[in-house]
Protein backbone atom coordinates (compact mmCIF):
# COMPACT_ATOMS: atom_id res chain seq x y z
CA UNK A 1 0.00 0.00 0.00
CA UNK A 2 1.35 3.43 -0.96
CA UNK A 3 1.45 5.60 2.15
CA UNK A 4 3.39 8.59 0.78
CA UNK A 5 2.93 11.31 -1.83
CA UNK A 6 5.73 11.47 -4.41
CA UNK A 7 7.11 14.76 -5.79
CA UNK A 8 9.75 15.23 -8.47
CA UNK A 9 11.48 18.53 -7.59
CA UNK A 10 12.19 19.19 -11.30
CA UNK A 11 8.65 18.48 -12.52
CA UNK A 12 7.40 21.49 -14.56
CA UNK A 13 3.91 21.18 -13.06
CA UNK A 14 5.02 20.77 -9.44
CA UNK A 15 3.01 23.83 -8.42
CA UNK A 16 5.18 24.90 -5.47
CA UNK A 17 8.78 25.63 -4.59
CA UNK A 18 10.60 22.38 -3.65
CA UNK A 19 12.52 24.45 -1.10
CA UNK A 20 9.34 24.35 1.01
CA UNK A 21 9.62 20.56 1.27
CA UNK A 22 13.38 20.54 1.70
CA UNK A 23 13.37 22.69 4.83
CA UNK A 24 10.79 20.42 6.46
CA UNK A 25 12.55 17.21 5.39
CA UNK A 26 15.98 18.37 6.57
CA UNK A 27 15.19 19.54 10.09
CA UNK A 28 16.11 20.56 12.66
CA UNK A 29 19.05 22.41 11.14
CA UNK A 30 21.75 24.13 13.20
CA UNK A 31 22.24 27.81 12.46
CA UNK A 32 25.59 29.14 11.30
CA UNK A 33 25.70 32.72 12.55
CA UNK A 34 28.52 34.10 10.43
CA UNK A 35 30.72 37.14 10.96
CA UNK A 36 32.74 38.46 8.01
CA UNK A 37 34.52 41.58 6.86
CA UNK A 38 34.38 43.14 3.42
CA UNK A 39 37.58 43.95 1.55
CA UNK A 40 37.11 47.51 2.85
CA UNK A 41 36.76 46.32 6.46
CA UNK A 42 32.97 46.70 6.86
CA UNK A 43 31.67 44.04 9.30
CA UNK A 44 28.78 41.76 8.35
CA UNK A 45 26.73 39.38 10.48
CA UNK A 46 24.17 36.93 9.04
CA UNK A 47 22.46 33.58 9.85
CA UNK A 48 22.37 30.50 7.58
CA UNK A 49 20.64 27.19 8.30
CA UNK A 50 22.15 25.15 5.46
CA UNK A 51 25.06 24.24 7.73
CA UNK A 52 26.95 21.15 8.85
CA UNK A 53 30.12 19.84 10.42
CA UNK A 54 32.15 18.35 7.59
CA UNK A 55 35.24 16.60 8.96
CA UNK A 56 37.60 16.35 11.91
CA UNK A 57 41.01 15.87 10.24
CA UNK A 58 41.36 18.75 9.67
CA UNK A 59 38.41 20.16 11.58
CA UNK A 60 36.13 21.58 8.89
CA UNK A 61 32.64 22.98 8.46
CA UNK A 62 30.40 23.71 5.48
CA UNK A 63 27.53 26.12 4.99
CA UNK A 64 25.67 27.39 1.94
CA UNK A 65 24.44 30.94 1.43
CA UNK A 66 22.14 30.42 -1.54
CA UNK A 67 22.23 32.86 -4.44
CA UNK A 68 19.77 35.74 -4.12
CA UNK A 69 16.63 36.14 -6.20
CA UNK A 70 18.34 38.62 -8.52
CA UNK A 71 21.13 36.13 -9.20
CA UNK A 72 23.75 37.94 -7.13
CA UNK A 73 25.76 36.54 -4.22
CA UNK A 74 24.90 37.33 -0.61
CA UNK A 75 27.18 39.70 1.28
CA UNK A 76 28.67 36.89 3.37
CA UNK A 77 29.82 34.99 0.30
CA UNK A 78 31.17 38.15 -1.34
CA UNK A 79 33.19 38.91 1.77
CA UNK A 80 34.57 35.38 2.08
CA UNK A 81 35.54 35.40 -1.60
CA UNK A 82 37.41 38.65 -0.92
CA UNK A 83 39.13 37.81 2.38
CA UNK A 84 39.03 34.03 2.93
CA UNK A 85 38.19 34.47 6.62
CA UNK A 86 35.05 34.23 8.78
CA UNK A 87 33.70 33.22 12.20
CA UNK A 88 30.77 30.82 12.70
CA UNK A 89 28.79 31.04 15.94
CA UNK A 90 26.34 28.69 17.62
CA UNK A 91 22.99 30.36 18.36
CA UNK A 92 21.48 29.98 21.85
CA UNK A 93 17.96 30.73 23.03
CA UNK A 94 19.05 34.09 24.43
CA UNK A 95 20.39 35.11 21.00
CA UNK A 96 17.29 34.52 18.88
CA UNK A 97 16.00 38.07 18.57
CA UNK A 98 19.42 39.50 17.80
CA UNK A 99 20.09 36.73 15.32
CA UNK A 100 16.86 37.18 13.34
CA UNK A 101 17.35 40.97 13.33
CA UNK A 102 20.45 40.47 11.18
CA UNK A 103 18.42 38.76 8.44
CA UNK A 104 16.85 42.09 7.46
CA UNK A 105 17.86 42.94 3.86
CA UNK A 106 20.29 45.84 3.78
CA UNK A 107 22.49 47.19 0.97
CA UNK A 108 26.00 45.78 0.57
CA UNK A 109 28.40 47.69 2.80
CA UNK A 110 25.85 48.29 5.58
CA UNK A 111 26.67 46.42 8.79
CA UNK A 112 24.04 44.33 10.59
CA UNK A 113 25.95 44.41 13.88
CA UNK A 114 24.04 47.43 15.27
CA UNK A 115 20.73 45.65 14.56
CA UNK A 116 21.87 42.59 16.51
CA UNK A 117 22.75 44.28 19.79
CA UNK A 118 25.62 41.81 20.20
CA UNK A 119 29.10 42.64 21.42
CA UNK A 120 31.93 42.38 18.88
CA UNK A 121 35.21 41.12 20.37
CA UNK A 122 38.51 40.40 18.57
CA UNK A 123 39.24 36.99 17.12
CA UNK A 124 42.69 35.42 17.54
CA UNK A 125 43.60 34.04 14.10
CA UNK A 126 41.23 35.79 11.69
CA UNK A 127 40.27 39.44 11.22
CA UNK A 128 36.44 39.27 11.48
CA UNK A 129 35.26 39.88 15.06
CA UNK A 130 33.31 37.29 17.00
CA UNK A 131 30.08 37.54 19.00
CA UNK A 132 30.87 37.59 22.70
CA UNK A 133 27.38 36.33 23.66
CA UNK A 134 27.62 33.12 21.58
CA UNK A 135 28.21 29.84 23.48
CA UNK A 136 30.59 28.63 20.75
CA UNK A 137 32.56 30.46 18.06
CA UNK A 138 34.73 28.89 15.36
CA UNK A 139 37.31 31.00 13.57
CA UNK A 140 37.56 29.69 10.01
CA UNK A 141 39.77 30.04 6.96
CA UNK A 142 38.36 29.25 3.54
CA UNK A 143 39.30 25.98 1.87
CA UNK A 144 37.08 26.22 -1.19
CA UNK A 145 33.70 27.35 -2.52
CA UNK A 146 31.72 24.90 -4.64
CA UNK A 147 29.01 26.47 -6.78
CA UNK A 148 26.13 24.10 -7.56
CA UNK A 149 23.42 25.25 -9.95
CA UNK A 150 22.82 28.71 -11.37
CA UNK A 151 20.41 31.58 -10.87
CA UNK A 152 18.19 32.23 -7.84
CA UNK A 153 18.59 29.83 -4.87
CA UNK A 154 21.63 28.07 -6.36
CA UNK A 155 23.89 26.50 -3.74
CA UNK A 156 27.31 27.89 -2.84
CA UNK A 157 29.03 25.41 -0.54
CA UNK A 158 31.59 27.25 1.56
CA UNK A 159 34.03 24.70 3.00
CA UNK A 160 36.39 26.03 5.64
CA UNK A 161 38.91 24.84 8.17
CA UNK A 162 38.38 25.71 11.83
CA UNK A 163 41.58 27.32 13.13
CA UNK A 164 40.34 28.34 16.58
CA UNK A 165 37.46 27.41 18.92
CA UNK A 166 35.99 29.68 21.59
CA UNK A 167 33.78 28.01 24.24
CA UNK A 168 31.84 29.86 26.93
CA UNK A 169 33.44 29.11 30.29
CA UNK A 170 30.15 28.14 31.91
CA UNK A 171 29.76 25.19 29.53
CA UNK A 172 33.04 23.45 30.30
CA UNK A 173 34.38 21.20 32.99
CA UNK A 174 38.03 20.14 33.10
CA UNK A 175 37.22 17.75 30.24
CA UNK A 176 35.99 19.48 27.03
CA UNK A 177 34.15 16.30 26.01
CA UNK A 178 31.88 16.68 29.06
CA UNK A 179 29.99 19.71 27.73
CA UNK A 180 26.31 19.12 28.52
CA UNK A 181 24.06 19.77 25.49
CA UNK A 182 21.20 20.86 27.73
CA UNK A 183 23.29 23.70 29.11
CA UNK A 184 23.91 25.23 25.68
CA UNK A 185 20.24 25.93 24.81
CA UNK A 186 20.83 25.26 21.10
CA UNK A 187 18.44 26.90 18.64
CA UNK A 188 17.64 25.17 15.35
CA UNK A 189 15.75 26.06 12.20
CA UNK A 190 12.70 24.07 11.12
CA UNK A 191 10.31 24.51 8.19
CA UNK A 192 8.54 27.78 7.42
CA UNK A 193 9.07 30.36 10.15
CA UNK A 194 9.45 27.73 12.90
CA UNK A 195 12.44 27.24 15.18
CA UNK A 196 13.29 24.65 17.83
CA UNK A 197 15.31 24.55 21.06
CA UNK A 198 17.27 21.71 22.63
CA UNK A 199 16.05 21.72 26.23
CA UNK A 200 17.20 19.26 28.93
CA UNK A 201 13.83 17.48 29.05
CA UNK A 202 14.02 16.69 25.32
CA UNK A 203 17.40 14.93 25.45
CA UNK A 204 18.07 11.21 25.52
CA UNK A 205 21.18 9.04 25.21
CA UNK A 206 21.79 6.03 22.95
CA UNK A 207 25.05 4.11 22.71
CA UNK A 208 26.35 2.61 19.49
CA UNK A 209 26.25 -1.19 19.31
CA UNK A 210 29.49 -2.88 20.34
CA UNK A 211 31.50 -4.49 17.50
Residue 176 confidence class, pLDDT cut points 50, 70, 90: confident
Mean pLDDT of the chain: 94
Q: Write the DSSP symbol of residue 92.
A: B
Residue 148 covered by a domain: yes
d(CA 45, CA 38): 11
Quick one: CA torsion of 186, 121, 127, 173, rounded to 10 degrees? -50
What's the mean pLDDT in 36-55? 97
Predicted pLDDT at 189: 96
pLDDT at 56 over 80: yes
Predicted pLDDT at 190: 95
Lowest mean pLDDT among 59-73, 137-151, 170-184: 170-184
Predicted pLDDT at 170: 86
Residue 76 covered by a domain: yes
Residue 101 covered by a domain: yes
* pTM metric for this prediction: 0.93
**3-class DSSP state for residue 43?**
strand
Residue 33 covered by a domain: yes
Predicted pLDDT at 30: 97
d(CA 139, CA 8): 39
Predicted pLDDT at 90: 98
Contact 29, 189 (CB under 8 A): yes
Predicted pLDDT at 96: 97
The closest alpha carbon to 135, from 196, 101, 177, 88, belongs to 88
Residue 77 confidence class, pLDDT cut points 50, 70, 90: very high
Residue 132 covered by a domain: yes
Predicted pLDDT at 208: 92
Predicted pLDDT at 133: 97
Predicted pLDDT at 139: 98
Domain residue limits at 115: 19-169+176-202
Residue 124 covered by a domain: yes
Residue 5 covered by a domain: no
Contact 13, 172 (CB under 8 A): no
Residue 98 covered by a domain: yes
| Total domain count, the chain | 1
Predicted pLDDT at 34: 98
Residue 180 confidence class, pLDDT cut points 50, 70, 90: confident
CATH of the domain at 181: 2.30.110.10
Amino acid sequence: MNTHHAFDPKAPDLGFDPYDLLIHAVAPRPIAFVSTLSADGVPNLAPFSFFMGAGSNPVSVCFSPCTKEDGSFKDTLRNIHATGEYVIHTVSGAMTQGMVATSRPVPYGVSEWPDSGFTAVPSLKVKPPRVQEAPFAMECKLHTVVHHGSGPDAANYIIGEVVMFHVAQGLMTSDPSEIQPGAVDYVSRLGGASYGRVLPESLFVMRRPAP
